[in-house]
Amino acid sequence: MKDLSKITEIEDLRVIAERKVPRMFYDYVDSGSWTQTTYRNNETDFDRIKLRQRVLVDMDNRSLQSSMIGEQVSMPIAIAPTGFTGMMWANGEMHAAKAAKDFGIPFSLSTMSINSIEDVAEYTNHPFWFQLYVMRDKEFMVNLINRAKQANCSALVLTADLQVLGQRHKDIKNGLSAPPKPTLTNILNLLTKPEWCFNMLGAKRRTFGNIVGHAKGVADMSSLSAWTAEQFDPSLSWDDVADIKELWGGKLIIKGIMEPEDAILAARSGADALIVSNHGGRQLDGAPSSIACLSDIVQAVKAENSDIEVWLDSGIRSGQDVLKAISLGAKGPMIGRAFLYGLGAYGEDGVRRALEILYKECDVTMAFCGHTNINEVDENILVKGTYENLKAALPYTPAIRWG
């Protein structure tokens, strides 16, 4: 295991990942759609929320232990499902899942992962969550859900905000596709990434393991691009959630909720948790940040008297961000880029270091705010007005309809 003690913040890992990972894959992770306004606001809006420091409070015996959908966690953080993870580091999903297991937090595997469900299950021997993109090929969808069951996945994460693909300009300019285009620029860039290339030679997979060889007509990478272009189902609606929940038969999480109205529908659908998320700023550019929408959604769910858990992703870059989200009612945040930077920098060791950084920052900040139990943190740790001012800056006030 590498000594990464001098890596002191997530930004350190980002800088190293940018240097090590091929440009097209790094940009896939570290970019948003269109003008990237929402992508940037996801981070900067956290900075606008200020914390109250308390002193002469007994700060001994602190604990970040909590639970997410009934699963005990060492800290209230889960690794979010991210596509192309195995292109940040060889066998990336397997390494990230192992690091999450060792740290005691949940790992989510994307439908668009490089390593397959079976690869990850074999490598970790520990239950993980599986994220589902709904495709037009219903037979493939049923088989995918059944494969997740057979792999002992403990929850299904249904992504609701990718019925159509956001326009991601960096991906277009880099020629990122399935398979990636071997342009001269990309080839020259690969020559500057010897460690990445060497590691990738020994990778278990270098294609989408959940799809290739499982979907009709997709026997190899050459046929994958056409298949994915036509398969995302734009007709997905709330009517489909009940069918998916029945077919799955286990814990269901709905990802991509940004409005109180949709939070109410998620609660009424029987889902166990919802994730306040704008897909990391990669879908609707111009949407508010996830943190700006959080409290209205928490209030809407409470008004429904629902026990659905509210989580959040998009913009988490520090343990302070984690604490702020929890203070505003999130049961726990999910991290995407924060763990991907660690993965791209140092593989499994890098993911582990990212988690250590977040844990330490959250623990110390909680102490400064006068708390010793993460489950007792509430909005009283925030400087009054700083979150309200953030919400006031939104271009509109979300309407809550209870009917």
Q: What is the pLDDT of residue 178?
A: 64
Q: What is the pLDDT of residue 125?
A: 85
pLDDT band at 233 (very low <50, low <70, confident <90, very high): confident
Domains of the chain: 10-392 (3.20.20.70)
Q: 272-283 pLDDT, tens per residue? A: 999 999 999 999
Q: 134-186 pLDDT, tens per residue? A: 988 999 999 999 999 999 999 999 999 988 888 898 888 888 866 677 788 88
For the chain, the distance separating the N- and C-terminal CA atoms, rounded to the nearest angstrom, is: 55
Residues 6+ apart with CB under 8 A from 251: 69, 70, 154, 155, 156, 272, 273
Catalytic member of 95, 126, 169, 279: 279
The whole-chain average pLDDT of the chain stands at 92
Q: Would the pLDDT of 242 be above 50?
A: yes
CB 128 within 8 Å of CB 78: no
Q: If DSSP states are collapsed to H, E and C, what string results for 89-103?
A: CCCHHHHHHHHHHHH
Whether the upstream peptide bond of residue 106 has omega within 30° of 0, thus cis, is no
Q: What is the pLDDT of residue 391?
A: 76
Q: Which of 88-97, 182-191, 198-207 has the highest mean pLDDT?
A: 88-97
Least confident of 30-34, 213-217, 285-289: 213-217
Residue that has been written with the tokens 């994958």 in this structure: 224
Q: 177-199 pLDDT, tens per residue? A: 666 777 888 889 999 999 999 99
Q: What is the pLDDT of residue 326?
A: 98
Task: Give the residue with greater pLDDT, 297 vs 223.
Answer: 297
Q: Would the pLDDT of 208 be above 60?
A: yes
Query: Residue 137 has which token pair?
Result: 């090929």
DSSP single-letter state for residue 75: S
Query: Residue 370 has which token pair?
Result: 């006068």
3-class SS of residue 292: helix
Q: What is the pLDDT of residue 184?
A: 87
Q: 311-370 pLDDT, tens per residue? A: 999 999 999 999 999 999 999 999 999 999 999 999 999 999 999 999 999 999 999 999
Q: 117-127 pLDDT, tens per residue? A: 999 999 998 89
Q: 40-50 pLDDT, tens per residue? A: 999 999 999 99
Neighbours of 261 (CB within 10 A): 17
Tell me the Cα Rg of the chain.
20
Please confirm, yes or no, whether 279 is among the known catalytic residues. yes
- Least Cα distance to 49 among 376, 289, 364 occurs for 289
